[in-house]
Structure 1
Amino acid sequence: MAALPALPGVYRFFDAAGQLLYVGKARDLKRRVSSYFQKTHDGTRIGHMVAKIARLETTVVRSEAEALLLENNLIKTQQPRYNILFRDDKSYPYLRISGSTWVAGAAAAQPPDPGHYPRVSYYRGPAQRPHRYFGPYPNGWAVKETIQWLQKVFRLRTCEDTVFAHRTRPCLLHQIKRCSAPCVGAISPAEYAADVRAACDFLEGRSQQVLDALQARMQALADQWAFEQAAQVRDQIAALSTMLQQQAMQAYDDQDVDIIAVQLQDGRACVNLAMVRGGRHLGDRPSFPAHVEDGAALADVEEGAEPAQRVLEAFIAQHYSEVAPPPVLVLGAPVDEALLQALGERWATRVRGVWQPREQRRVWLELAQRNAELQLARLLAEEGSQQARTRALAQALGLDATTPEALAALRIECFDVSHTAGEATMASCVVYEQHQLQPRQYRRYTVEGVTPGDDYAAMRQVLQRRYARLAAALAERGGDDGGDNQARLPDVVLIDGGVGQVGVAREVFEALGLDPGRLVGVEKGEGRKVGLEELVFADGRPKVALGAQSSALLLVAQIRDEAHRFAITGMRARRAKARTGASRLEDIPGVGPKRRARLLARFGGVRGVAAASVEELASVEGISRELAEAIHQALR
C-alpha cells in the first residue's frame, strides 16, 4: 500500500484464480485502496470480498474524468462480480435528418437530387456528419410517433435515396398528404429547405416561432394571390395546432432535461429514466442493475451513503459515459458533485443536478418515481414466478437443489435442430441460469457433412462439438466440475425430441465419459398438442407427464420454444443467404455489409449486380471505380 501514489486513477481487485472482483475509481488511489484493509469487515459483504483479494492492479490517470471513463469501460467489458452493473442494452434511438443542404437558394435539379431534399428517419448508432440528430429518445415508438407528426405537419420525405432517385410519379404518402413529393419536383429545394428548418425548430422546442412563421408565410402567399400554396400552408398550421393542443400537457419551459428516479426493494433496484427534449416529454425507460447490495456496500468503504445514491451514481456514470447528458438532471437522490463535474469535463459542457425539485420538475420526478415503483414490483413478481418454476422443475427432475443459492445456480442447456427439407440445417443451444435465459451464452451450430434431413446425425454432431472439449477439460481436472459457465457441465441437458433423439444423446455422452443422467428429452404428446408433452430420461427412468398447468412444464416449454426460435431464425438466415447468393458478394474484398446492402437495394439482388456494368456499379455510393471493376470481374 505504501507504494501506491496519491493520484487519481482506477484500481482493480482480483482473486487467486485471476477473476476480476471489483473495479473502482479514486481521486487519491493510496487513500482509497488502503481504506479496504485498515478496518475489520468480518461478517459483512465487504469482508467477504476483501477475503478473496489476491492481487491488485492500478492505473494512474490525469483527472477524475478520465478515471470515470476508464472505470466504466472496464465495468462494461469485464463485468466484475461486485460492481453495480447495468445491462448494456441497445443504443438509444435518435431521429435523424440527413444531408447538409440547408441553403434556401439551392437550384432545382432535373432529375431532382436527393442531396437537396433531406430525409427524416429513425436511427441507432454513432453520429455521422453531415447529418443532424435529435434525441436520444427512450424507445423506438417515441421516434416513430415524432416522425409521423413531422410527416403530417412538414411533409418531409422518409424514403431511401435509392427509391427517391428512381421515382417517376408520386407515391402513396403524397396522395394522403404526408409527403411533398420532392422526388418528382413537386416542391422546390428552397421551399423544402424552409420546411426542414421549421421541423428542426419544432424539434428544438421553438413551436410557437414555427407557428408564427407559418402564419406569416400563409399571409404572404395570400397577398400574392397564390391561394393554392396558401391553402397548403393553412393545412400545415392546422396540423401543427392540433398536435400542440394534444401535447398541451407536455409544453414546458425546460428544453432538454433528464429525470432519473431510483427505487430499491428486496435487494433489487430500478432506475427509471424519463426524457424531455425540445420541451416535450418523450417517455421513460427502466433499467434493472445487477449486484446492487454488493456494489453499494463496497462503494461505501470510505464514506457512508444511502444505497439509492450509489445506484444512482452508478447509473449516471455508466449511462452518460457514452450518451451526452442534457444540461439539467432532475434526480431522485443526491449524488456526488464531483461526478457531475467529471461528466462536464467528459462532454465539455456544464451538467447541473437538481435534487428536491419544485413545481413542474417535482411533478416529473414524482411520475418517474411512481413508474420506478411499478416496474420494480412487476420485476419482483415475475422473478418470484420464475423462481417457483425453477423449483418445480428441479423437484420434477429429482435434482438436489433446495436452497435459493442452489436453485439460482441450476444451469439448463437446450438443443434443437431446424432445416427446410434438409436444406440449411442449423442447430441451436440456449442457456437458462439464474432463473432466466442467458442470450449472451447462446450458440448456433452450422451442421454439415450429414445426410440432409437426418436429425439424429445432426444432433449427434452438435452434442459432440458442444461437449467434447468440456469432457476433455473435466478429465484433466479429475472430474472437478468447476470454473466459469463456459467450462461447466450443465445440470440438465434438454433435447427437443423423443426417445430416438435422447438415445443418440446418450450414445454421445457415454462415448465422452459424461453422465447421461443429465439428459432429458421433451417429447410431443398425443396429437402433438401443447400441454401434453412428456419428459423422456436417458438413464432409464419412466416418462413423466407434468400436466398442462404444471409450473415445471411451463418452464420447459419456455426454454424449448426459445431454442426453437433461435434455431429457426438462424436456419432462415442461412437459407436466404444461400438462395440469394449474397455470399458471393461477401467474398469480395472491400464489400462490407453497408456496401453490399446498397448494391442489393440498387440492383434488386445479386443477379442484378452481376448484370450491371462497371459504370453502373461505380455510380453506387461508396463504390469506387477500382472496386466496381473488382465486383464486375468477381461476379462474371
Structure 2
Amino acid sequence: MTDTTDRPTGHACVQSYLKTLDNSPGVYRMLDAKGAVLYVGKARNLKKRVSNYANPNGHSARIDRMIRSTASMMFLTTRTETEALLLEQNLIKQLKPKFNVLLRDDKSFPNILVTGNHAYPQIKKHRGAKKEKGSYYGPFASAGAVNRTLTQLQRVFLLRNCTDSVFDSRTRPCLQYQIKRCSAPCVGYISHEDYGTLVKDAERFLQGKSTKVQTELAREMEIASEAMEFERAGALRDRIRALTQVQAGQGINPQGVAEADVIALHMEGGQACVQVFFIRANQNWGNYDYYPRTGSGAGPAEVMEAFIGQFYINREPPPLLLLSDGIEEAELMAGALSDKIGRKVEISVPQRGEKAELVQGALRNARESLARTMAETATQARLLQGLAEAFDLPAPPKRIEVYDNSHIQGANAVGGMIVAGPEGFLKSQYRKFNIKDTSLTPGDDFGMMREVMTRRFSRLLKEDPDRTSGTWPDLLLIDGGQGQVSAVRRIMEEMGVGDIPMVGVAKGEDRDAGKEEFHRTGKPPMALRHNDPVLYFIQRMRDEVHRFAIGAHRAKRSKAVGATPLDDLPGVGAMRKRALLTHFGSAKAVARADLKDLKAVDGISDNLAETIYAFFHEKG
C-alpha cells in the first residue's frame, strides 16, 4: 500500500509530482488514499500530461472526480509512445481501475483447422494456441458458427472429421459416409489424389474463392453428364446446391472487403455495446457483442480506443479495422498493432460505399443489442428489489451466491457455487469445490457444506478482509431447510461473517416446484405466492446451481472412471502413458512388466524405466 500520510490530495497531490518528471513517454497510475488504482493512462510526454491534471480547470466531471480522489501517483517511463500504449492496455486489464474503460469479456474465438500431419487431412474446430501443424481459418464468432460451417463444408467437400486414431482403426465406413458427409478415405473409397483435390477445394472456399470452386464443379458436372456418368453428375449437383446454401446462409458477403473486423459502438444511458463482425475471405464469419464498462462517463472516442487496445492484446488483428467512431490517436494505435504482428494494419471510419454499409449494419446490431440488454437489466433490477422486499434486506443485493452439493452416496462429492447480480448470472465467478475431507460420513450434506463455506470465506477473509473488492456476497441462498440453515449459520458465526443474510430454499409439500419454503435464522418458514416473479427468479438460480454442481460431479466421476495407476507415475505424461498402454495393452500389464521390457518401450529412457519399475514394485 502506498504511504499517503503526509501527502496532499487532489490537484495539489498531482502538482507535487511535476518537479520529479521529465518529457519522456510512459505510463502513469493515479491511486486513492488506500492505494487502490483509480486510473491508468499513457502519455507521449509525462510532464506535460501530469501538468494538465494539476490545472484545476477545464476537466470533465468524470476526470474532476478522479483527480479529487487522487492521493498518490506512480510512473513508468518507456522508450516510445507505442510501448506506453501497449503497457497501458495490459495494466488496465490487470488492475481494472475504476475510471478506465474496461473490456470485461475476454473470450477466445474458435478457428477451423485443416490438419497438415496426415496423408488424409482432417477438418475440425480449433480453439487456443496454433501449435498443431496445418492451415487455420478464422476467427469465427462462436462455436455454433464454426459447427454450422463445418457441417456445410462436409456436405460440400466430404472431408473426414474423425480423429487419426479412429481413422486408423476403421474397417468399414461410419455413419458420416452413409449420410453423405464424408468420402470414406479410411477404407479406401476415394483415392489419395481425389481426396487431396477435395481438400484443396475446401481451402480455396475458406480463402474466399468459392465462385471458382462452384464454376469448376459445374464444369465437372457437365462433363460427367455428357459422358452419361449420371451418378457422378448427381453427386456434383448435390455439392453445388450445398455450396449455394453455404453462401446464402452467410448473409453478408462483401465483394470489396476481403479481410476486416467491423467494430461499431452504441452508447445510451451510461452503457455501451460494441458489436464486432468478422469478415474473412469476403465472407461473414459471425459477430459478437461486448458491453465494456465505460469508466464512469467516458465518451465514444475513449471507449472505442480502449476497446481496440484491450481486444487485440491477445488476438491477431486483420489488415483492416472499420470503425463507427474515430479514435484520437488512430495512427499510434495502427502502428502499435502493425508492430505487434509484423504487417500493416489500417484503421478507418468509412463514410460511404460498401464499407460504410458494413459499419451501419454492425451499428444497427449494437443499438438493438444494447436495447435488449437495458430491458433485461431493468427487469433484473426489479427482481432484485423484490428479493430485498421479500426477505427484509436493507438494499437490493448486488451479489448473490447460491450453493449446492452433488454426489452419489458420498462418492465424487462436489460443492457448487454460482453468482447472480444486476447483470444476471456471472459465469466467470462460478466456483466448484472438490470435497477433500475423507473423514466425512458418505452423504453427509451438512459436513460437505461446512467444508465449502469454510474454504470460501477463509479465502475471502484472507484476500479482502475490508470487503472492498465487490467479491463479498450480499445474500447467500443454500439448497436446504431449517437444519441446513442452522448448520451454515453456526459456521458463518464461527468465522466472524454471521452478518451476511442467508436464506435456505427447500421444496415444500410433495416437493413440487412452486411450493418452495424459505428458511431464515430465528424466523418461521415462509412462502411466496405461486405466480410471484421473485419466486421464478429464485427457482432459476436454484436450478442453475443444481445444473452446475451436477456437471462438476459428472466430470469428476468420468475422470475417476478413466483413471489408471499410470496417472500417478512421476515423469509420465499423456504421450508416455499412451506409449506404455499401446505397448503392454493395459495398466495392470505395465505394473507387472519386467525392467527389460519397460526399457524397450519407445520414448521411455532407461532412467524412467527404472523409476516406473521401482514405483510399482516398491508399492507392492
Query: TM (normalized to structure 2)?
Result: 0.85
Instruction: Give the counterpart letter for 1:484 in structure 2.
Output: S
Distance 1:438 1:616, change over 3 A: farther
Q: Which residue does 2:490 correspond to in 1?
A: 507
- State whether structure 2 residue 65 is matched by structure 1 residue 62: no
Q: Which residue does 2:333 correspond to in 1?
A: 339
Equivalences for 1:338-417 in 2 at 5 Å?
338-401=332-395, 407=396, 410-417=398-405
Deviation at 1:597, TM superposition (A): 8.7
Aligned mate of 2:56, from 21, 30, 39: 39
Deviation at 1:467, TM superposition (A): 3.5
Deviation at 1:88, TM superposition (A): 3.4
- State whether structure 2 residue 112 is matched by structure 1 residue 131: no
- Tell me if the contact between 2:149 and 2:246 (Cα under 8 Å) persists in the aligned partners: no
SS, match of residue 296 in structure 2 = helix
Paired-residue identity, %: 38
Q: Following the alignment from structure 1 to structure 2, what is the Cα–Cα distance between the partners of residues 210 and 13?
A: 57
Deviation at 1:461, TM superposition (A): 3.2
SS, match of residue 36 in structure 1 = helix
Render the CA deviation track for 1:378-415: whole Å, top value 9, x for unaligned: 110111111111111111222222xxxxx46x443332
Q: Which residue does 2:552 correspond to in 1?
A: 570
Q: Following the alignment from structure 1 to structure 2, what is the Cα–Cα distance between the partners of residues 529 and 231?
A: 56
Deviation at 1:249, TM superposition (A): 6.2
Instruction: Give the counterpart letter for 1:493 in structure 2.
Output: L
- Tell me if the contact between 1:389 and 1:554 (Cα under 8 Å) persists in the aligned partners: no
Aligned mate of 1:529, from 512, 533, 552: 512
Q: Which residue does 1:588 correspond to in 2?
A: 569
Deviation at 1:626, TM superposition (A): 6.5
Instruction: Give the counterpart letter for 1:461 in structure 2.
Output: E
SS, match of residue 542 in structure 1 = strand
383-392 or 243-252, which deviates more: 243-252
- Tell me if the contact between 1:471 and 1:514 (Cα under 8 Å) persists in the aligned partners: no
Deviation at 1:603, TM superposition (A): 10
Equivalences for 1:274-313 in 2 at 5 Å?
274-294=277-297, 296=298, 307-313=299-305
Q: Following the alignment from structure 1 to structure 2, what is the Cα–Cα distance between the partners of residues 417 and 314?
A: 41
- State whether structure 2 residue 424 is matched by structure 1 residue 442: no
- State whether structure 2 residue 100 is matched by structure 1 residue 83: yes
Aligned mate of 1:498, from 481, 495, 502: 481
Q: Following the alignment from structure 1 to structure 2, what is the Cα–Cα distance between the partners of residues 162 and 422?
A: 36
Instruction: Give the counterpart letter for 1:388 in structure 2.
Output: R
Instruction: Give the counterpart letter for 2:468 in structure 1.
Output: G
SS, match of residue 263 in structure 2 = strand
- Tell me if the contact between 2:580 and 2:601 (Cα under 8 Å) persists in the aligned partners: no
Distance 1:246 1:445, change over 3 A: closer
Equivalences for 1:310-321 in 2 at 5 Å?
310-321=302-313
- State whether structure 2 residue 269 is matched by structure 1 residue 266: yes
367-376 or 144-153, which deviates more: 144-153
- Tell me if the contact between 1:276 and 1:282 (Cα under 8 Å) persists in the aligned partners: yes
Distance 1:13 1:530, change over 3 A: same
Aligned mate of 1:551, from 495, 517, 533: 533
Instruction: Give the counterpart letter for 1:587 in structure 2.
Output: D
Instruction: Give the counterpart letter for 1:456 in structure 2.
Output: F
- Tell me if the contact between 1:430 and 1:443 (Cα under 8 Å) persists in the aligned partners: yes
Q: Which residue does 1:25 correspond to in 2?
A: 42
Distance 1:233 1:548, change over 3 A: same
Distance 1:514 1:177, change over 3 A: closer
Distance 1:589 1:85, change over 3 A: farther
Deviation at 1:181, TM superposition (A): 1.6
Instruction: Give the counterpart letter for 1:260 in structure 2.
Output: I
- Tell me if the contact between 2:334 and 2:346 (Cα under 8 Å) persists in the aligned partners: yes
Q: Which residue does 1:15 correspond to in 2?
A: 32
Q: Following the alignment from structure 1 to structure 2, what is the Cα–Cα distance between the partners of residues 50 and 182?
A: 68
Deviation at 1:632, TM superposition (A): 6.6
- Tell me if the contact between 1:162 and 1:602 (Cα under 8 Å) persists in the aligned partners: no
List alignment gaps of at least 5 residues for structure 2. Answer: 1-17
SS, match of residue 521 in structure 1 = strand
Distance 1:607 1:213, change over 3 A: farther
Q: Following the alignment from structure 2 to structure 1, what is the Cα–Cα distance between the partners of residues 230 and 605?
A: 50
Instruction: Give the counterpart letter for 2:122 in structure 1.
Output: R
SS, match of residue 333 in structure 1 = coil
Instruction: Give the counterpart letter for 1:71 in structure 2.
Output: E
189-198 or 599-608, which deviates more: 599-608
Q: Following the alignment from structure 2 to structure 1, what is the Cα–Cα distance between the partners of residues 477 and 579?
A: 42
- Tell me if the contact between 2:393 and 2:501 (Cα under 8 Å) persists in the aligned partners: no
Distance 1:322 1:471, change over 3 A: closer
Render the CA deviation track for 1:279-337: whole Å, top value 9, x for unaligned: 1122211110113434x2xxxxxxxxxx1222211221111222222222221111232
Aligned mate of 1:159, from 143, 157, 162: 162
Distance 1:471 1:309, change over 3 A: closer
SS, match of residue 25 in structure 1 = strand
Q: Which residue does 1:188 correspond to in 2?
A: 191
Q: Following the alignment from structure 1 to structure 2, what is the Cα–Cα distance between the partners of residues 310 and 617?
A: 63
Instruction: Give the counterpart letter for 2:542 in structure 1.
Output: R
Deviation at 1:433, TM superposition (A): 4.2
624-633 or 270-279, which deviates more: 624-633
Aligned mate of 2:523, from 523, 541, 554: 541
Deviation at 1:563, TM superposition (A): 2.6
Q: Which residue does 1:97 correspond to in 2?
A: 114
| Aligned residue-pair number | 593
Render the CA deviation track for 1:134-182: whole Å, top value 9, x for unaligned: 1111112221122122212221111111111111122222233221222
RMSD: 3.6
Deviation at 1:245, TM superposition (A): 6.0
Q: Which residue does 2:14 correspond to in 1?
A: none
Instruction: Give the counterpart letter for 1:521 in structure 2.
Output: G
Equivalences for 1:137-152 in 2 at 5 Å?
137-152=140-155
- Tell me if the contact between 1:154 and 1:199 (Cα under 8 Å) persists in the aligned partners: yes
Q: Following the alignment from structure 1 to structure 2, what is the Cα–Cα distance between the partners of residues 24 and 155?
A: 52
58-67 or 522-531, which deviates more: 58-67
Query: TM (normalized to structure 1)?
Result: 0.83
Q: Following the alignment from structure 1 to structure 2, what is the Cα–Cα distance between the partners of residues 435 and 248?
A: 31
Deviation at 1:4, TM superposition (A): 2.4
SS, match of residue 148 in structure 1 = helix
Q: Following the alignment from structure 2 to structure 1, what is the Cα–Cα distance between the partners of residues 347 and 60?
A: 36
Q: Following the alignment from structure 1 to structure 2, what is the Cα–Cα distance between the partners of residues 137 and 49?
A: 39
Distance 1:201 1:590, change over 3 A: farther
Equivalences for 1:458-477 in 2 at 5 Å?
458-467=448-457
Render the CA deviation track for 1:528-550: whole Å, top value 9, x for unaligned: 11122122111x12222122332
SS, match of residue 69 in structure 2 = coil
- Tell me if the contact between 2:205 and 2:213 (Cα under 8 Å) persists in the aligned partners: yes
Q: Which residue does 2:7 correspond to in 1?
A: none
Instruction: Give the counterpart letter for 1:465 in structure 2.
Output: R
Q: Following the alignment from structure 2 to structure 1, what is the Cα–Cα distance between the partners of residues 516 and 238?
A: 60
- Tell me if the contact between 1:321 and 1:343 (Cα under 8 Å) persists in the aligned partners: no
Q: Following the alignment from structure 2 to structure 1, what is the Cα–Cα distance between the partners of residues 251 and 454?
A: 63
Q: Following the alignment from structure 1 to structure 2, what is the Cα–Cα distance between the partners of residues 509 and 98?
A: 54
